[in-house]
A and B are shown apart, each in its own frame.
Chain A
Amino acid sequence: MMDLSTTYLGFKLPHPLIPGASPLSADFDTIRRLEDAGAAAIVLPSLFEEQIAAEAVGTSHHMLAHQDSHAEAASYFPLADEYAMGPERYLEHVRRVSDAVQVPVIGSLNGTSPEGWLDYARLIQDAGAGALELNFYHVATDPGEDGASLERRLLDVVLAVKSHVRIPVAVKLSPFFSSFANVAQQLDQAGADGLVLFNRFYQPDIDPDALDAIPRLHLSDSSELLLRLRWLAILSGRIRASLAATGGAHTAIDAVKAVMSGAHAVQIVSALLTHGPKHLIKIRRELSHWLEEREYESLGQAQGSMSLLRCPDPEAFERGNYMKILQTWKAR
């Protein structure tokens, strides 16, 4: 049996395949099935502070708007003061899942306010999560905010969260930074225990007939993996934090590529959404076969083998354009 073991966020995992944050891990029964399918760890869906706050305010408004305004009805809802609109439901999920499964459970958080990041991070830890993934899902639309202050904010959050929680903290990022390597390095120095590359955004589509914008989330395909591979390869071996690939890993080959580029863990979502939790067994088996067929000793042997530091053609990761052979001439 091929040794597929890896270490991610300090957890010794039997293999690198982890179901990433998605609706799959929002459902308790599906989580059990994922565990049965051998998931090495489970990342829970993100708790979105903005959504919680907006819904809390909105629900509160709708339920209170007509209170005490007509003689016949002082209110229109039962137990109006009892409705919990905070993060309780999410935390309860964390608690339930953490109690029920044997594998590490990674909570995920998308905050908006500095207090939100800290409070919710602590709450998720206290609910039993083994680690935390900070999901910086942020579309920078404000022309008044420069890249440096955005990066500063990011670092401040990571520094603050790290000083408030005991569990390992991974940071899930988008690739949209002027100097991604620098950002990664700073996060590493700030104490991030892992970097997860990359976030995928909902892309609004347009209905040209109705003149409406329509939010869409397409499932990923393997072509999206390439961007991840490049940056994994660039960072691998240069930072202390462990690395995870997310977005575009659908097959065992995809997983091999990610690991070779430097990933310690490979998060899989779209393939599991399409084929179901059992698909994880197949990927794992094929990963094992692939390595066996090529007579690898273990997965560890391949880890980072194609990183910038170790691959035979590091320039391939650094170039912006396709280069013809003649253009790649170097003096020997």
Chain B
Amino acid sequence: MARRWISVDGNEAAASVAHRTNEVIAIYPITPSSTMGELADEWSSKGRANIWGQVPSVMEMQSEGGAAGAVHGALQGGALATTFTASQGLLLMIPNLYKIVGELTPFAMHVTARTIATHALSIFGDHSDVMACRQTGIAMLASNTVQEAHDFACIAQAATLASRIPFMHFFDGFRTSHEVNRIEELDDDDLRAMLPEALIAAHRERALSPDHPVLRGTAQNPDVFFQAREAANGFHIDCPGHVRDAMDRFATLTGRRYGLFDYVGHPQAERVIVLMGSGAETVEMLVESLVRSGERVGVIKVRLYRPFSVEHFIALLPASTKAIAVMDRTKEPGAIGDPLFLDVVAALNEHGQLHPKVLGGRYGLGSKEFTPAMVKAIFDELHAPQPKSHFTVGITDDVTHLSLKVDPDFSLEESDVVQAVFFGLGADGTVGANKNSIKIIGEDTPNFAQGFFVYDSKKSGAVTISHLRFGPNPIRAPYLIREASFVACHQFDFLDKYDVLGYAEPGAVLLLNAPYGQNEVWDHLSAETQQAIISKKIRLYTIDGYTVARESGMGNRINTIMQVCFFAISGVLPRDEAIEHIKEAIRKTYGKRGESVVQANFAAVDAALAHLHQVPVPVEVSSERHPAPMVSPSAPDFVQRVTAMMLANQGDLLPVSAFPVDGTWPMGTAKWEKRSIATEIPVWDQGLCIQCNKCALVCPHAAIRAKVATPESLEGRPSTFKTVPYKGAEYAGMDYIIQVAPEDCTGCSLCVMVCPAKDKANPKHKALDLHPQRPLRDPERENYEFFLDLPEVDRHTIKSDIKSTQFLEPLFEYSGACSGCGETPYIKLLTQLFGDHLLIANATGCSSIYGGNLPTTPYTTNRDGRGPSWSNSLFEDNAEFGLGMRLAVEAQANEARRLLAALRDREVIEAGLADAMLDADQSTDAGLDAQRARVLTLREQLRDRINGERGEGDEARSQARRLLVLADSLAKKSVWIVGGDGWAYDIGYGGLDHVIASGLNVNILVLDTEVYSNTGGQQSKATPMGASAKFAASGKGHNKKDLALMAMAYGSVYVARVAFGAKDAQTVKAFQEAESYPGPSLIIAYSTCIAHGYDLAHGLDQQKLAVETGSWPLFRFDPRREAAGQPAMQLESGPPRGDVGKYMRNESRFRVVEQMYPERFKELLKGAQAHVLERYALYEKMAAKKETTS
């Protein structure tokens, strides 16, 4: 039977083989490899068997270290086992890789090669992770395309069984891993033919078994270790031969022939590029083109990188070669060259016969594009009279001048390929529709299709750019489209923000989703856009997609509507046929969700064409409107020069000199990015407002704020600026203001939901109602600017109650978190309370992405220039990282105090000042400010001493100099350790446990969404019973770990469990107590999340229900109370009331379990109900402890 052609991405291509050829799969989610594990889990949970008829067991572990350990154990136990990982995850596996290699255990793992975090984290692709494993001895096999990711997964599995050398099969993360392409699928018979039973039997024979026991894992002494280490040499030497055999057998089976290295190019090439990974395809494409035009060039594609077969490499290199460029997609600072370069140099040296010039080049770090123009520049450099011996390509290095000059206009013509680019919004479904279009073209027509998707870093209002190619021949081109014949812009405003038409080739089609009729669209375009359309002779089509979607019951999902327009205009398929395929896909995707969903989609499809219009393009520009600048002209220089370029998608053009050398980044850049993503924003009715400040508290984006101001300060206010006399004695005579940031609000509506003030005559109207943003944008922008310029409320006058805290300036604002995010209100509160003396250690995860992902970041400073100083180390070490910060703070403070005392004793510093500083009570804002004032005086006295008359070199002067550097450390600093449940409950738990046991004064804030949010909804140990999550699709069968209880067991840790939506005052109290507690504190904060599956506008109600039903009990456990004879535990929510199902059934994560597995859900519900009662009873006992014993 003929094999199937399927359209899949590299991850699915590799996972498909891995799942069918293994028995045990242990994984841990990490971008960009997570999809492989998720697919494996999905297939196993659907009962899909491997080629031997067994459903593989898929296990999510607590870390990649755990996954490697589990795989090692499974292999030792005689199973066929695999894992998938990338980047830091791969680093955590290294110790086990040494072991697995040392024990000669057949094992093929699959890696999406990803950047290792250095000066910054990058989720994108390069070879720095796989290159960090060279020394383990694992065999390394690189695939360059989606087809190869499929094929090499099989070849690696075959070769490892034959050679006993473990294999790392890798491909480029966020290129091959995420590129959708059409491939020929290997069927089960192919896989069976490649994996002889005898080799599997041999593997099982070697396994640990009490039936034929062996001992493995001894400790060896100096007398024998070395020899024993050399004993395996033969296996490594033979390995390339086994790979070659597997490749030959594979070729016989499938017709696809691969070598250990593959050469493409002129037989008498003079210039050759050597590289591995997807970039090799780009080189090959250009080589083919250059050879056709008579150039003597070639490329060696490295397949088997380790063990490196010098013999095979030399055999392929044309003897005519005069110059070689070896391209590494990694960087080893300080090395003579990057690793592949050194290998090639060594190979030539070992061979000794060929003496070409060898250049080392670096490209593509962190998924930097690698284009034919760059390859051209490399070949040109090989020609140059004095070529750069170690160059970079793809960037402009104006500091060390290593970069090659690239001709920006050079491109590779591919006449038979249609190229299309789509600008969409994450929430509008553009990417999903394009993935579907590729499937339709790739699987239902004879054409080949390729898709690649680019996302920005925001979690709300994210911009997506889809790159689609299709044509009659296989499509390689592992780089983004530069010139498309079809450009779709699914959001009208994008035309002003991004150079959308920069992608359009002359005569291209622009399909524009516009909220205007066909006769009005032209007039709404900017002059620049009109000019581009006219001069490029662009054919303009328009549709009011949102109206069509709304009328068809699709909400804001315009995906299928725009998809129909694409097919209708592009003519890839006859219209009717295309629509039929789209409808089939809709039925396939949504059929199980019910006919109503299918019908809404069908209605949208049917309505689309009637609303699609071609707009006649006038010959002249008529618009007088120009797009606003990317950032305000009042933004700082760095933001103007660097941030604005990144915001405009022009970051690739920034030279090396634009960047800080050590990853340090300026504060408060989010305020310059005005995204205007809300369609509706809150409007304040000051007459109704009861001035509770709850709106400001719940806002996830600090986009609605409260202030009081004196009448004088309000002079000159804008005409629409609203105020109302403050109700209350503390600010009598002042005016009260609630102000929205119209361009920063995401429209989540939490402020409106929490607003308690209703109009008595018309309760539908509240003190905050949502109104369309567009007409409000300009006046409210002016109002907000005026508001920000008003003086902040004096911190010393602010009481500690919930209302007053919202007059404190937030130093975390406008993050890219999801609209309605349940985590960010806690972080915002943290910065309001303690932001000016705060160090934050942030675990990798959502909070590090919205906290630190460029182009703009939300942590900012107050008017004194103080603010939270934030850093992210890793996912797994955050508690330790924060502990280190605390140790540093204390070390410096202790040293400063020692010096201060010494200088006091030497009468250099006034005794009164010194003693006041040493004894200062800094527990309040006033106390802290007083100490800061003393620091200023101290600095003056120290400077006087340093610059004074007494001679150089005296001890006092030296001490004064040192104290001057450390003077700030005499003012209090707080360390808060922030992260999600994946960190705190799973990968970082060991460290967290150690840190809370240390007794040191650190505060830990766990933003508990009960699931791995950032990587896409995998279960964690915080996932509650009954919730569906990846790796627990049928609903988690056991209880959430009680992290709070575990921490309370120490008796010396301050612990609180909070939910701001249920009891905000308790949340604030817990933060204040944790801060004041002199030892470790742990706050576990209920955080609503999009992964819970409901409209987060109801997040506050759900928090209330969670507390009311006992699913999320509230308490504070303060060991200080014990000294006063009171129980440390204060239980602050009542006994569970009602059925937990009342809470659970409001969220899709639980509800889908009930829908799919009703009987199981009944049991889980019963279990969850019993659990909340038992847990509450236990807490109740703890809260009553002292009363019963005293």
Contacts and interface: CB of A to CB of B under 8 A. Distances in A.
Interface of A: 52-57, 59-79, 81-89, 92, 115, 119, 211-212
Nearest to B31: A72
Nearest to B9: A74
A211 B763 contact: yes
Nearest to B1091: A76
A89 B1145 CA distance: 15
A62 B1148 contact: yes
B1149 interface: yes
27 contacts: A53-B594, A54-B596, A57-B597, A57-B600, A59-B1093, A62-B1095, A64-B557, A65-B1090, A66-B426, A68-B432, A72-B34, A72-B123, A72-B849, A72-B1014, A72-B1016, A73-B34, A75-B1017, A76-B1017, A78-B1017, A78-B1028, A78-B1033, A79-B46, A82-B1156, A83-B592, A84-B592, A84-B593, A87-B594
Given A75-B1016, A84-B1156, A86-B592, A56 B1028 contact: no
A97 B59 CA distance: 37
B98 interface: no
Contacts of A68: 426, 429-432, 435, 453, 464
B1015 A73 contact: yes
Interface stretch (B35-43, B796-804, B989-997): B35-43
Nearest to A75: B1016
A56 B597 contact: yes
A71 B1155 CA distance: 30
Contacts of B35: 74
Contacts of A52: 594, 596
B594 A85 contact: yes
Interface string B7-26: 00000000000000000000
B772 interface: no
B421 to A, nearest CB: 16
Contacts of B123: 71-72
B593 A85 contact: yes
Pick from A55, A60, A72, A212 the residue with the most CB of B within 10 Å. A72
B558 to A, nearest CB: 13
B592 A69 contact: no
Given A70-B455, A84-B592, A61 B1014 contact: no
Interface string B452-473: 0101010100101000000000
Interface of B: 31-32, 34-35, 38, 41-42, 45-46, 123, 174, 425-427, 429-432, 435, 453, 455, 457, 459, 462, 464, 553, 555, 557, 588-590, 592-597, 600, 758, 760, 763, 818, 849, 1013-1017, 1028-1033, 1090-1091, 1093-1095, 1148-1149, 1151-1152, 1154-1156, 1158
Contacts of A53: 594-596
A60 B590 contact: yes
A77 B1148 contact: yes
A77 B763 contact: no
A83 B1152 contact: yes
A214 to B, nearest CB: 13
Contacts of B1156: 82-84
A70 to B, nearest CB: 6
Contacts of B38: 78
Nearest to A53: B596
Contact of A70 (B430, B459, B1093): B459
B595 A79 contact: no
Contacts of B589: 81
Nearest to B1018: A78
Contacts of A119: 595
Nearest to A79: B1033
A187 B75 CA distance: 72
A310 B609 CA distance: 66
Nearest to A49: B596
B596 A78 contact: no
Nearest to B1095: A62
A319 B597 CA distance: 50
Contacts of A60: 590, 593, 597
B354 to A, nearest CB: 43
A76 B455 contact: no
A78 B42 contact: yes
Leading 8 A-B pairs by shortest Cβ distance? A69-B426, A73-B1016, A56-B594, A53-B596, A68-B431, A211-B763, A78-B1033, A76-B1017
Given A82-B1156, A84-B593, A86-B593, A73 B1017 contact: yes
Given A77-B1030, A78-B1028, A87-B594, 19 more contacts: A57-B596, A62-B1148, A65-B1090, A66-B426, A66-B427, A68-B430, A69-B425, A69-B455, A69-B459, A70-B455, A72-B32, A74-B35, A74-B1016, A76-B1016, A77-B1029, A77-B1093, A78-B38, A85-B597, A86-B593
Contacts of A83: 592-593, 1152, 1155-1156
Nearest to B1031: A78
A79 B46 CA distance: 9
A65 B597 CA distance: 14
Contacts of A71: 31-32, 123, 174, 455, 457
Contacts of B425: 69
Contacts of A115: 595
A67 B459 CA distance: 11
B1149 A56 contact: no
A10 B304 CA distance: 78
Nearest to B455: A71
Given A59-B593, A65-B1090, A67-B432, A77 B1152 contact: yes
Given A56-B594, A57-B553, A71-B31, A66 B763 contact: no
Nearest to B846: A72
Contacts of A77: 1017, 1028-1030, 1091, 1093, 1148-1149, 1152
Contacts of B46: 79, 82
B1029 A78 contact: yes
Contacts of A78: 38, 41-42, 45, 1017, 1028-1033
A72 B818 CA distance: 14
B1014 A73 contact: yes
Contacts of B590: 60
Contacts of A57: 553, 594, 596-597, 600
A101 B415 CA distance: 70
Contacts of B1013: 76
A87 to B, nearest CB: 8
B404 to A, nearest CB: 28
Nearest to A67: B432
Contacts of B453: 68
A89 B595 contact: no
Contacts of B1155: 83-85, 88-89
Contacts of A62: 1093-1095, 1148
Nearest to A72: B31
A63 B1149 CA distance: 9
Nearest to B459: A70
A305 to B, nearest CB: 45
Contacts of A79: 42, 45-46, 1033
A76 B760 CA distance: 41
Nearest to B463: A69
Nearest to B1032: A78
Contacts of B818: 66
A91 to B, nearest CB: 12
A42 to B, nearest CB: 18
Nearest to A28: B1159
Contact of B427 (A63, A69, A76, A81): A69
Contacts of A81: 588-589, 592
A317 to B, nearest CB: 43
Nearest to A61: B555
A69 B464 contact: yes
Contacts of A67: 429, 432
A81 B593 CA distance: 8
B463 to A, nearest CB: 9
A144 B357 CA distance: 87
A65 B1154 CA distance: 21
